[in-house]
Chains A and B, each alone.
Chain A
Amino acid sequence: MTEPIIPPAPEVPEAPAGPYVYDYAASPQRQVVMPKTVPLPSYRTYLAEVKAAAEADEAKWKKMQADYETAKAKAEAEGKDAPKPPVRPVPRKDDNDLKTPWPQEAKDADLLLLQELLGAKVEEIFEQAGELTCQLEKSALHEALLLCRDHEGLRYEMLADQSATHYPAASDFAYSVVYHLTSISRRKRLRLRILVPEGFVPESACSVYPSANWMEREIFDMLGISFANHPDMTRILCPDDWEGHALRKDYPVVGWGQRDVAFREDRGGMIERIALQKAGQLGINLKQPKAD
């Protein structure tokens, strides 16, 4: 008598202990994907890209010709008909209206004047879609801002915007800081750009353009670039006791989930700081204990 075939018992997964808690750290959306490229517009890299594409095209054509030669020789040896000679493909005509505007050589008088005034401190100047960009050495920024504001031929009175971007894939720098200047009297706009490595402390623009105050605080809050000689280098958007900088590419933006909210009387010393500031305005020294 043969033993009856017992079907194997289905594997029952063990029930998780306690209430079900979504593991946010393991969630796929929580995983940080670091960018592989540096999408920083630049005339120099654009020229290099165009040159590399032309070289690749030429190499492909050479290979097609060599293949044809070998195929021809083989056909002759076997006594067959010669193959068709290759035709060089005509490059496709691009619709320029659909392409993003590519960087072009600088022809604007302002950019040329800046290059003339600053000399080797200007790393690159180019125009893109009618916008002027001047990339500077990171140490020459303060001098360039002063020139842009005060020089008779430039007269950029306003710092309209200041922001920064994180480029973790770049090898020689980590962040680009851009300054968007506006000349109200001349109806022109100019962009200054510096590339700074991790940990570099650029000079604050507050002494030249007071509007840089809050924008630099925002850059510090979001990216962690602190500026030298800034009157109040603290966080502006996040709470004072926040950890990390949210606009860095390695910061997970999704899926923190349910966190406990801590309530403290004075988060990060904000109230103490304001009190000291107000007392300083009134001429009271709160830091030193009063003598009896």
Chain B
Amino acid sequence: MGVMQPSAFEQILITTKVEKVMNWSRATSVWPVTFGLACCAIEMMAAGASRFDFDRFGAGIFRATPRQADLMIIAGTVTYKMAPVIKTLYDQMPEPKWVIAMGSCATAGGPFDSYHTIQGVDKIIPVDVFIPGCPPRPESLIYGFMKLQDKIMTSSLADRYKDIFEEVG
């Protein structure tokens, strides 16, 4: 009839890459740290609560310890006194780990061009997604999180450990 019938082999098997499965599993169960610094944390809580329901994206399990978390949402102003604490928490998170800078304070210092505020959290830790807003609404946070999911899905093991591979040769 000209129509290609799938073989019995194709009906019972899905072929894909290991990398894609790993990325999919990582992107759909990102556990953030319970960690808020200022008013952006209120919006983060609102995003986690029932109205916006962050859990639909697999990111609703806020862990109380960085050792069980994959994602750190920097929600608020980063001061010079808080910077070593954030750095310590980030170092305690296991690989692979991601960081979202939420709000204009965490992105670039916000209105606090002042003696006590770090002008962007990317001065101390690497950031994957920046979310503008003062504070960003939960929709913005969810959109930023979806962008992070895209980034995780397109990431590759080879890219992630490129430096190590090159070193090993």
Question: In the complex where A238-B81, A261-B83 touch, is A255 in contact with B113 (Cβ < 8 A)?
Answer: yes
A239 to chain B: which residues have CB within 8 Å?
A: 80-81
User: Is residue A263 contacting chain B, with contact meaning CB distance below 8 A?
Assistant: yes
B84 to chain A: which residues have CB within 8 Å?
A: 263, 267
Those of A133-160 within 8 Å (CB) of chain B: none
Q: How far is the CB of B46 from chain A (nearest CB, A)?
A: 29
Identity of the chain B residue whose Cβ is nearest the Cβ of A27 in the assembled complex: B113
From B81, B115, B116, B123, contact of A252 by CB (8 A): B115
Question: In the complex where A261-B80, A263-B84 touch, is A246 in contact with B123 (Cβ < 8 A)?
Answer: no
B147 to chain A: which residues have CB within 8 Å?
A: none
**Docked CA distance A253–B81 (Å):** 16
**Docked CA distance A238–B118 (Å):** 13
A251 to chain B: which residues have CB within 8 Å?
A: 115
Identity of the chain B residue whose Cβ is nearest the Cβ of A235 in the assembled complex: B81
Which among A29, A255, A261 has the greatest number of chain B C-beta atoms within 10 A?
A: A261
User: Is residue A64 contacting chain B, with contact meaning CB distance below 8 A?
Assistant: no
Which among B115, B123, B124 has the greatest number of chain A C-beta atoms within 10 A?
A: B115
**Docked CA distance A291–B116 (Å):** 45
Question: In the complex where A258-B123, A261-B123, A261-B124 touch, is A246 in contact with B83 (Cβ < 8 A)?
Answer: no
User: Is residue A47 contacting chain B, with contact meaning CB distance below 8 A?
Assistant: no
User: Is residue B5 contacting chain A, with contact meaning CB distance below 8 A?
Assistant: no
- Are B116 and A246 in contact, with the CB atoms below 8 A? yes
Identity of the chain B residue whose Cβ is nearest the Cβ of A257 in the assembled complex: B119
From A237, A256, A257, A263, contact of B87 by CB (8 A): A263
User: Is residue A254 contacting chain B, with contact meaning CB distance below 8 A?
Assistant: yes
User: Is residue B15 contacting chain A, with contact meaning CB distance below 8 A?
Assistant: no
B114 to chain A: which residues have CB within 8 Å?
A: 253-254, 256
Question: In the complex where A238-B81, A261-B123, A263-B84 touch, is A246 in contact with B118 (Cβ < 8 A)?
Answer: no
Chain B 32-51: CB-based contact to A (< 8 A → 1; otherwise 0): 00000000000000000000
Which among A252, A253, A256, A258 has the greatest number of chain B C-beta atoms within 10 A?
A: A256
**Docked CA distance A267–B82 (Å):** 12
**Docked CA distance A246–B112 (Å):** 14
Q: Top 8 nearest A-B pairs by Cβ distance?
A: A239-B81, A261-B83, A256-B115, A258-B119, A261-B124, A263-B84, A254-B113, A255-B113
A interface residue numbers (CB < 8 A to B): 29, 237-239, 246, 251-258, 261, 263, 267
Known pairs A256-B114, A257-B119, A263-B84; list 16 more (Cβ under 8 Å).
A237-B81, A238-B80, A238-B81, A238-B116, A239-B80, A246-B116, A251-B115, A252-B115, A254-B113, A255-B113, A256-B113, A256-B115, A257-B113, A261-B83, A261-B118, A263-B87
| 12 CB-based A-B contacts, threshold 8 Å | A237-B81, A239-B81, A252-B115, A253-B115, A254-B113, A256-B113, A256-B114, A257-B113, A257-B119, A261-B124, A263-B87, A267-B84
